A and B are shown apart, each in its own frame.
Chain A
């Protein structure tokens, strides 16, 4: 290997205890098939999928049961063979604890594949559009946690040419080790996915970014690259500094390029994909298999056998916990995701989704309930650790004042909610919570504004319509009037006048006749 690549840096970030060894001790456990699966229609960013089945329908493993309803949407497939039971609201993993539309199916235990599209080992013969369509069919979304539809992300037409594909294996959040486990066990599949992605986007170089706390994964991938004689793929080791796995942070680390505010990585010629997403792409193209399972790290002091477990999408969280030996007596919080960015669940009766990279059964010490918030002493630690170089204090100040225009002046929407600021705050202010509140308040305001804009436009349209109708009516009346006025003028004034005159003459004659009788009588 050539001399080590230059690593850039980003400002801020935190050195955290990674707690990853807790879950990397054992190999990945294969998935088991639960009797019942609950598949939310909304597991991704964008529109919810559109249901294609009805209760009672038999389905084969891998059968499309809900299709992408829009360009930004993702399909959902049956994770095993069985029968659809219902399509209804069920509790899902969401910070609100609310229910959402789900397809519920019972497995038949046979696990027989349904009809699948052909495998394309010769994918280089296929066009980028065909491959994107395959990825879209397979319901592939970003498995690092953002769950953005991959088919949309790899469609870079109309944008700047992509020269670099970045594969994100940084996995910077403490406790989570599912990507680490995948890289150790299946480096070949990752390389397959990389080859397909490069074919689609035409990137001549590929960089795999991995934090230096995963030596086994780094070794496994380097070994695989060497054995296959791959060129222009390089494993780049980055220092363990949360949040190095943030998309824009990783791009900066590996290429020195800063993705401009309000822009996508494509604007600097980069496309970023998670390692697990690359493997799913490979499965979809090389084997014609959809995304129906993923690796989930089940860890924390609240679990008896922490480790990495494969799980069918739709498996209930409590079942996965049971597989991991159940809860220990230390269980305090159950967190979907990691300790920095995950959200806590009230109940474990919710399904694993494409977004579930980790189930953290945390003890009181690992996830203390938030201490009472104290006033900000303006120490500035939050600004020092912010990887986006925001001014968290000022944002907090304006959020508290509900001055949402000001918060946006301080670049609220560049906040990636990594939690570094809240972690270091000596006053224990839940800063991220404030920013989430400000963001949703602004979205609500925007929706309201759109609504009122629409109402105003409708009102204005109605007003113009009424005015037009009124104007038309007036025009019609005027025409009529004009027509009426014109008629007598044009035909004749004379007959009337003549008649009147005649009548007057007759009256005069009568009068004359009446006055005359006397003389007449005298006659």
Chain B
């Protein structure tokens, strides 16, 4: 009788890439639904467009490379990339810009470097930055949350705007859109207004923009789910949010009238989404325990620096891309001590 042979270990664990990515998608659901609730159908339409473009692009590249596209598509990594990109986009972005960003993320940032596991940069954030620097007008044209505007765009109106690129009859972009809280804080601060004054506006809630401030909680919920399922570990989210809180707290303590308080930083923009879902992208992040702490802390620091003194209102994408570049170096200098290795005995 002849038996099958294999290499040890003969039994392997239940984990696989599809499961990991599926878990990430599941964790994104509450935050995504919250965004839909506050910003309307545009969020879901963007999501559909981005995912479709990403999947088509990935399949096309795989066939050009003469490889089987099925296992690559089934690992769901392209869907995760597109989903994260879509969440970062303004809800009424013209469809072709979403397609462009999504395809750039998959084709250039991911596949040209060798596909999953080989991309040095976070594809979703690179796609977002491409769109932000290429189309600054449409990319900063955010909607006010429904709770603020008191009106919601219908599905038909959303589709019309996204696919025609023009506002519906009788409306202009000025009546439709509004600045994000980060944007507003920034421009009003530059006009030398006090924070206490800025916060008098009906747009402001308890610690961030009304509506906006609650979305972070739903992403936080998803992030905690990922922590619980051990898809991500605590180091990057904790160090990133921790350093953001610490630095913003320090400046706030020095001058609370020109520096927003720490919770504002935490619950505005993409801080929480970034901490749990974007900075933790394993492929482009640091992998050593100490390295992850440094990596996260530096992202938090850069977010504060760019938000406060940089040219763009939000900074998660830029900070993550900057630290992506530093990750291999961080890893090199933070290798853990091997069992039995004496201190200061490093080869």
Partner-B contacts on A (CB < 8 A): 10-11, 174, 248, 252, 258-261, 263, 327, 331-335, 337, 339-348, 362, 366-372, 374-381, 383-384, 387-391, 393-394, 409-411, 414, 417, 419, 422-428, 430, 432-433
Q: Which residue of B lies closest to A246 (CB)?
A: B339
Alpha-carbon separation in the docked complex, A362 to B6 (Å): 12
Smallest CB separation, B345 vs chain A (Å): 8
Q: Which of B114, B233, B338 has the most CB of A within 10 A?
A: B338
Q: Would you give the 0/1 interface string for B115-132, flagging 1 where the beta carbon is closer than 8 Å to chain A?
A: 111100000000000000
Residues of B within 8 A of A340 (CB): 8-11
Residues of B within 8 A of A428 (CB): 12, 16
Alpha-carbon separation in the docked complex, A389 to B8 (Å): 20
Q: Are B4 and A426 in contact (CB under 8 A)?
A: no
Q: Which residue of A lies closest to B347 (CB)?
A: A409
Does B205 interact with chain A (Cβ within 8 Å)? no
Q: Are B288 and A10 in contact (CB under 8 A)?
A: no
Q: Are A378 and B336 in contact (CB under 8 A)?
A: no
Q: Are A425 and B12 in contact (CB under 8 A)?
A: yes
* 9 A–B contacts from the bound complex (CB under 8 Å): A11-B339, A335-B10, A347-B2, A366-B10, A366-B11, A377-B17, A380-B282, A427-B16, A432-B9
Q: Are B338 and A411 in contact (CB under 8 A)?
A: yes
Alpha-carbon separation in the docked complex, A374 to B67 (Å): 13
Given contacts A409-B347, A428-B12, contact A377 B341 (CB under 8 A): no
Q: Are A374 and B71 in contact (CB under 8 A)?
A: yes
User: Which 8 residue pairs of A and B lie closest in terms of their CB atoms, listed nearest first?
Assistant: A419-B9, A375-B117, A367-B10, A344-B5, A433-B7, A388-B339, A380-B287, A426-B15
Q: Are A381 and B15 in contact (CB under 8 A)?
A: yes
Given contacts A391-B335, A391-B336, contact A422 B9 (CB under 8 A): yes
Q: Which residue of B lies closest to A16 (CB)?
A: B11
| Beyond A426-B19, A432-B9, 8 additional pairs, beta carbon < 8 A | A332-B4, A344-B3, A374-B116, A375-B116, A378-B287, A387-B339, A419-B9, A426-B17
Q: Which residue of B lies closest to A387 (CB)?
A: B339
Given contacts A333-B6, A374-B71, contact A260 B287 (CB under 8 A): no
Q: Which residue of B lies closest to A365 (CB)?
A: B11
CB contacts under 8 Å to A, within B329-347, are 331, 335-342, 347
Q: Which residue of A lies closest to B292 (CB)?
A: A380
**Residue of B19, B116, B339 touching A414 (CB-CB under 8 A):** B339
**Residue of B5, B15, B115, B283 touching A345 (CB-CB under 8 A):** B5
Residues of A within 8 A of B7 (CB): 343, 370, 430, 432-433
Q: Which of A375, A388, A419, A432 has the most CB of B within 10 A?
A: A375
Tally chain B residues at the interface, Cβ within 8 Å.
42
Residues of B within 8 A of A334 (CB): 3
Q: Are B116 and A377 in contact (CB under 8 A)?
A: yes
Given contacts A374-B71, A377-B116, A390-B338, contact A342 B347 (CB under 8 A): no
Q: Are A419 and B341 in contact (CB under 8 A)?
A: no
Q: Are A333 and B341 in contact (CB under 8 A)?
A: no
Residues of A within 8 A of B15 (CB): 381, 424-426
Given contacts A260-B340, A428-B12, contact A345 B3 (CB under 8 A): yes
Interface majority SS (helix, strand, loop, mixed), chain A: loop
Q: Which residue of B lies closest to A427 (CB)?
A: B17
Smallest CB separation, A332 vs chain B (Å): 6
Residues of B within 8 A of A424 (CB): 13, 15
CB contacts under 8 Å to A, within B10-60, are 10-13, 15-17, 19-20
Alpha-carbon separation in the docked complex, A409 to B335 (Å): 11
Given contacts A332-B3, A341-B8, contact A389 B339 (CB under 8 A): yes
Alpha-carbon separation in the docked complex, A370 to B2 (Å): 18
Smallest CB separation, A264 vs chain B (Å): 11
Q: Are A419 and B340 in contact (CB under 8 A)?
A: no
Does B1 interact with chain A (Cβ within 8 Å)? yes
Alpha-carbon separation in the docked complex, A36 to B12 (Å): 37
Residues of A within 8 A of B17 (CB): 374, 377, 426-427
Alpha-carbon separation in the docked complex, A387 to B338 (Å): 9
Alpha-carbon separation in the docked complex, A344 to B116 (Å): 32
Residues of A within 8 A of B288 (CB): 380, 383, 391
**Residue of A341, A347, A374 touching B9 (CB-CB under 8 A):** A341
Q: Would you give the 0/1 interface string for B270-300, flagging 1 where the beta carbon is closer than 8 Å to chain A?
A: 0000000000001101011000000000000
Residues of A within 8 A of B336 (CB): 383, 389, 391
Q: Are B3 and A331 in contact (CB under 8 A)?
A: yes
Q: Are A346 and B8 in contact (CB under 8 A)?
A: no
Q: Are A362 and B10 in contact (CB under 8 A)?
A: yes
Q: Are B335 and A423 in contact (CB under 8 A)?
A: no
Does B257 interact with chain A (Cβ within 8 Å)? no
Q: Would you give the 0/1 interface string for B303-347, flagging 1 where the beta carbon is closer than 8 Å to chain A?
A: 000000000000000000000000000010001111111100001
Alpha-carbon separation in the docked complex, A343 to B331 (Å): 34
Residues of B within 8 A of A332 (CB): 3-4
CB contacts under 8 Å to A, within B94-148, are 114-118
Given contacts A346-B5, A378-B283, contact A261 B11 (CB under 8 A): no
Q: Are B9 and A261 in contact (CB under 8 A)?
A: no
Q: Which residue of A lies closest to B337 (CB)?
A: A389
Does B75 interact with chain A (Cβ within 8 Å)? yes
Residues of B within 8 A of A379 (CB): 20, 282
Alpha-carbon separation in the docked complex, A409 to B147 (Å): 58
Alpha-carbon separation in the docked complex, A509 to B339 (Å): 110
Smallest CB separation, B288 vs chain A (Å): 7
Q: Are A423 and B338 in contact (CB under 8 A)?
A: no
